[in-house]
Amino acid sequence: MSQILKTLTPFMEINKEFPFASPIKEWKQSGGKVIGFFGGDIPEEILSAAGALPVWLRGHCSEIPLDDANSYLHIYTCSHMRSILEIALKGDYNYLDGVMSTPYCDGSRRMFDVWDRYIPIPALFFLHTPHKNTPEAEAYYYENMKEFVTSLESTFQKKVTKEALWDAIKTYNQTRKLFIQLYDLRKKDNPPISGAEVMEIYDASAMMPRKDFNILLEKVIDEAKTADRKLDSGHRLMINGTALHNPEYVKGIEDLGSIVVADSLLNGAMGFSDLISEDENTDPLLAITRHYLNKFPAPRMVPSEIRFDKILQMAEDFRIDGMITGVVRYCAPHIYDEIRLSKRFEARGIPSLRLDLEYGMAATGQIKTRVQAFIEMIEERKRKG
Amino acid sequence: MPVAGIDIGSRTAKAVIMEGDKIISSHIGETILKGPDVGIAVLNESLKLAGLKLSDLESIMPTGYGRFQFTGGEKHVSEISCHARGVHWYFPTVRTILDIGGQDSKAIKCDSNGRLTNFVLNSKCAGGTGRFLEVIADILEVPIEKLGELALSSRQNISFSTVCVIFAKTEAINMLREGVPKSDIIAGLHDSIAKVAASLLVQLTVEKDFSLTGGVAKNSGVVAKIKEKIGLEPMIAPDPQLIGAVGAALFALDRAKRRRTA
């Protein structure tokens, strides 16, 4: 593979500093508040409009022993949540001024409970989120959003103004617009950026102020556009699954003769593919409410067909040869989602592979064998036409 | 010119030397004893048996978990493709393969050319694989190669509630204490392995001509139980443990041929 994109360096440097990266440190030093969250349906725009820096909590990009976390959460809870908890119990998330969650999945709910009971934290926020998108659900969700704003205002003693909300919406939309540009570049025959590199960008996006992030992301896109960098496409894969963060996992897949050109990851395309309406005649909070109900749905949302159609459309747009789903054990929503999704892929003649992962792991021997055989199978299918 | 296929598995490494369309020698060695050099060690043994030198080989194809560490070979192929290819060489009509290895089991589908078309593997855990049998053989103080024979003399059906090595070990020890004959305990464990295998096959479609590969296919007790569960007579190569290496050697032949004609 050709040299890594130069403009990725700042992101990679930030990722090396996980969990207390320098942009977060600088934010704290200038007196700003930091709210950590987990779950893919957190309206970061609201946290940002309240003057806080939202940080998407995650675990290390390695399989660490979860000794402390296992004392608080049953091992049936996904290793993703337990990995976050392990860091919190070790005190490495002590810089947080608050933690926020939604009823995203059982794992995240139980971890929130543990945080509530056992980990000292100045503030906790919980936003009830519906599982479906109906007028009643929207009304319910909107009321909850308002309550959430009120609790933020009383905690931080600061009014969340409409202007601040619109400003945050525009900033976060700018990120989405940039990602959409980046995704378009990945649709090319020889994409100028690898899946592992995109993972570095995703990881950094969770640990820095969005305005700064947008400036850096724009530079990456400029370089990717102009550098005349054409990665050998091999076979075009899409990666799916819960939140995955380890670029080495993606690199392991790509090193076996493929390029990851698309994803439907919680921390990736699921959050960056759809824009919030910027119609300033509406209430910004309502715009946010509608966005989070309408955006690329996670497996927790029903009916599932909306999600499946979206992913299948991506498979077509990105001309993928195969789909690899990484299921972090024991992520129940994704396990059942994968089975139904893979059937729909097979019906379209696109092979799919499920990998059982522990959170944080790179591509180990067992994974490499499965991926290599999968790529060999794709090769055979293509050869036969 | 002769070529070699080396299948470096989690428990054993296998080397096969082929010339034209014939196997001229083979060797199986334990992975644990030889460390990272096990691939070259089994290759050297089989070269010695064939009366050849390393430089006589036109191509070497590594496969198996150790393929990444093996240097001096072709760009490697996964053992899943190698099993399909190896079985097809022995039994061209086979389309479904069940490979039970040292630490994983795989259900594999191939086409009329022996090319991989689909596969399913067990999850990360080694329950229901060769390692499972090794642990149990050790507890029961029965040599691993005697397990099959002993199980076939079993008089009563015992069912284990788990394929977890750790839990099954506990259950087996309790049964031993209660005086359950070893033959029945072993037959019960073979049944567990067959269940795991059958559950993998259910995820693919089983076609009539199917083959068993991997070291565990040498165990007549497991074979009998699988036959019972699937309802089909498996086709088994003379040494099913060598199939991955045979497939690798066939891929090595392809590469050598491709270079000659290029």
d(CA A79, CA A334): 13
In a domain, A43, yes or no: yes
pLDDT digits (tens, 9 = 90+) for A220-243: 999 999 988 888 878 999 999 988
Q: What is the pLDDT of residue B123?
A: 73
Contact flag B65-A365 (C-beta cutoff 8 Å) = yes
Residues with Cβ within 8 Å of B48's Cβ and at least 6 positions away in sequence, in order, are none
Q: Are residues B256 and B181 in the same domain?
A: no
Q: Are residues B75 and B128 in the same domain?
A: no
Contact flag B65-A369 (C-beta cutoff 8 Å) = yes
- Mean pLDDT score across all residues of chain A: 95
pLDDT digits (tens, 9 = 90+) for B61-83: 999 999 999 998 999 999 999 99
| B167 interface with A at CB cutoff 8 Å | no
Two structure tokens written together for A264: 């439907």
Q: Where are the alpha helices (DSSP H) in B64-219?
A: 79-90, 130-140, 147-152, 165-177, 182-202
CATH number of domain containing A94: 3.40.50.11890
Q: Does residue B59 register a pLDDT over 60? A: yes
Q: Are residues B110 and B204 in the same domain?
A: yes
Contact flag A365-B80 (C-beta cutoff 8 Å) = no
CATH number of domain containing B211: 3.30.420.40
Q: What is the pLDDT of residue B157?
A: 85
Nearest to B116 among A358, A365, A377 (CB): A377
ipTM of the complex: 0.90
A203: distance to nearest CA of chain B, Å? 26
Between A284-294 and A135-156, two packed helices, what is the crossing angle to 10 degrees? 120
Total domains in chain A come to 1
In a domain, A48, yes or no: yes
Q: Of the candidates A324, A381, A327, A320, which has an alpha carbon nearest to the alpha carbon of residue A353?
A: A324
- Percent residues over pLDDT 70 in chain A: 99
Q: Does residue A1 register a pLDDT over 60? A: no
| B75 interface with A at CB cutoff 8 Å | no
Q: Are residues B71 and B171 in the same domain?
A: no
- pLDDT, mean of residues A263-292: 97
- Confidence at B160, pLDDT banded by 50, 70, 90: confident
| B119 interface with A at CB cutoff 8 Å | yes
- Confidence at B129, pLDDT banded by 50, 70, 90: confident
Q: Does residue B89 register a pLDDT over 90? A: yes
Q: What is the pLDDT of residue A233?
A: 73
A306: distance to nearest CA of chain B, Å? 26
Q: Are residues B100 and B226 in the same domain?
A: yes
Residue ranges making up the domain that contains B180:
93-236
Q: What is the pLDDT of residue A2?
A: 60
pLDDT digits (tens, 9 = 90+) for A58-71: 999 999 999 999 99
- Confidence at A156, pLDDT banded by 50, 70, 90: very high
Q: What is the pLDDT of residue B124?
A: 67
- Percent residues over pLDDT 90 in chain B: 73
In a domain, A55, yes or no: yes
d(CA B206, CA B198): 10
Total domains in chain B come to 2
Q: What is the DSSP letter of A4?
A: P
Q: Are residues B62 and B85 in the same domain?
A: yes
- pLDDT, mean of residues B186-196: 91
Q: What is the pLDDT of residue A113?
A: 96
Q: What is the pLDDT of residue B33?
A: 67
- How much is the pTM? 0.93
Q: Are residues B135 and B249 in the same domain?
A: no
Q: Are residues B254 and B162 in the same domain?
A: no
Contact flag B80-A368 (C-beta cutoff 8 Å) = no
In a domain, A152, yes or no: yes
Question: Which residues 305-334 in chain A show a CB within 8 A of chain B?
Answer: 329
B64: distance to nearest CA of chain A, Å? 8
| B251 interface with A at CB cutoff 8 Å | no
- pLDDT, mean of residues A32-57: 96
B167: distance to nearest CA of chain A, Å? 17
Q: Of the candidates B36, B98, B46, which has an alpha carbon nearest to the alpha carbon of residue B70?
A: B36
Residue ranges making up the domain that contains A114:
22-160
pLDDT digits (tens, 9 = 90+) for B231-252: 999 999 999 999 999 999 999 9
Choice between A194 and B136, residue whose per-residue pLDDT is larger: A194
Q: Are residues B19 and B127 in the same domain?
A: no
